[in-house]
Structure 1
């Protein structure tokens, strides 16, 4: 996975710079999201991995699968460049890194909040507000229900993890008792 990040980084930065020049940050974000979803499909992954199929045929197939049949010339060129360089499989990572660049431009980070139970909108907004104060940045947060936490919550912001769950506390207690 680390090598995907290394390979995807220059593509994401180049696209971000191009999109910023042309004032198309949001449209590229949407196109990359769709491309990432397309190449994550098992049949498309098999197509990408097939050595007997040429890069142009792979790129044509992927472009034809886009929801937007009138995809821009730049999107098609980008897919062809990735196909020619045998980098189509890194598209999901390009999307992730591009999204991070777009969010960092607005001083925002992506957060995933794992909870044992579904919170209502007001509760979740309050938790996000507290997390923004703790991490000192705006957060674009999503909630994931994970009953195994038993109670409390676990938060991932970038490479930082804040574990305030009962499951985490039980693990800490177990670890302390065993050492």
Structure 2
């Protein structure tokens, strides 16, 4: 996956620059989201990996599946198809989304908790994290029962582990060293 991130970065930056120039960031973000989700489907992934299909056939199939009418996005998909890199579309979408958030001085936070958080808990936790990290956050929650209790937060390359599992691991490390 790290390889996909490296490959996708220049494509995402170029597409973002063009979207910004045309003042269509939000609409292109939506189109990329649809493309990314379609490419992750098993049958579509198998189709785009077929070497006997031409790049234009793959582009037309993807455009037809998502109803892609934006000529710039279609050209972008065509470039990816010609370079045999359609499988990086989900990573391009993720990086495009990060660039959009950065433009709005916002970062994406992934909050892992052992149990689902209520709306009030999420709101309070997000407010505390915004104060701690000094930035606006767009929070996404994921349930991870292995945490046992507490939360683990990932913001970019920073990880804040306040989980019971993390504390147990730290205690184990301290006792064995």
Pairs within 5 Å for 1:152-171: 152-171=150-169
Q: Deviations over 1:14-56 (max 9, x none)?
A: 1111111111010011001111001111111111111111111
Say whether the 8 Å CA contact 2:68–2:74 is kept in structure 1. no
What is the match of residue 63 of structure 2? Answer: 63
Does residue 92 (structure 1) correspond to residue 90 (structure 2)? The answer is yes
Structure 1 residues without counterparts, runs of 5 or longer:
none
What is the match of residue 150 of structure 1? Answer: 148
What is the match of residue 4 of structure 2? Answer: 4
What is the match of residue 52 of structure 1? Answer: 52
Cα distance in 2 for residues equivalent to 1:131 and 1:24:
30
Find the partner of 1:127 among 94, 104, 125: 125
Cα distance in 2 for residues equivalent to 1:136 and 1:34:
32
Q: Deviations over 1:90-121 (max 9, x none)?
A: 11111111111110011100001111222221
The 3-state SS of whatever aligns with 1:114 is: strand
Say whether the 8 Å CA contact 2:31–2:68 is kept in structure 1. no
Cα distance in 1 for residues equivalent to 2:7 and 2:68:
28
Cα distance in 1 for residues equivalent to 2:91 and 2:77:
14
RMSD value over aligned CA atoms? 1.1
Structure 2 residues without counterparts, runs of 5 or longer:
none
What is the match of residue 16 of structure 2? Answer: 16
User: Does the C-alpha gap of structure 1 residues 102 and 133 become closer, same or farther in structure 2, counting only changes over 3 Å?
Assistant: same
Q: What is the deviation of 1:151?
A: 1.1
Cα distance in 1 for residues equivalent to 2:2 and 2:112:
24
The 3-state SS of whatever aligns with 1:65 is: helix
Find the partner of 1:103 among 98, 101, 104: 101
What is the match of residue 176 of structure 1? Answer: 174
TM-score of the aligned structures, taking structure 2 as reference length: 0.96
TM-score of the aligned structures, taking structure 1 as reference length: 0.95
